[in-house]
Amino acid sequence: MTESTLLYRSGRSRLLTLVLLLTLAPVPLSAWLVSLPAEAQLLAEFGSRGAVQAWKIGMVLLGSALFWPMAWLSGRYVTRVEQTAAGHVRVQLWTLFGTRTQEWQSPLSGGEHHEGRSHGLPGVQVDVPWTGYCTPAGKKLVVDAQGEFPRGEDALREALLHATHRRP
| Per-residue model confidence as pLDDT tens for the chain (168 residues) | 558 899 999 989 999 999 999 999 888 888 887 777 787 788 788 888 888 888 888 888 888 888 999 999 999 999 999 998 777 899 999 999 999 999 888 888 988 998 887 777 777 777 889 999 998 888 999 999 999 999 999 999 999 988 654 333
Quote the crossing angle between the two packed helices 26-35 and 49-63, to the nearest 10°: 160
User: Which amino acid is present at 39?
Assistant: E
Residues 119 and 145 in one domain: yes
Q: How far apart are CA 162 and CA 146, in angstroms?
A: 23
CA 33 – CA 37 distance, rounded (Å): 8
Domain count, the chain: 2
CB 159 within 8 A of CB 7: yes
DSSP code of residue 137: T
- The reply to whether 81 and 108 lie within a common domain is yes
Q: Are residues 128 and 58 in the same domain?
A: no
Indicate the pTM of the whole model.
0.79
What CA–CA distance (Å, rounded) separates 79 from 1?
Answer: 19
Q: Are residues 80 and 51 in the same domain?
A: no
Which residues make Cβ contacts (< 8 Å) with residue 63, sequence separation at least 6?
26, 27, 29, 30, 31
Whether 79 and 41 map to the same domain: the answer is: no
Amino acid at 15: L
pLDDT digits (tens, 9 = 90+) for 32-50: 877 777 877 887 888 888 8
Q: Which domain holds residue 82?
A: 4-19+69-161
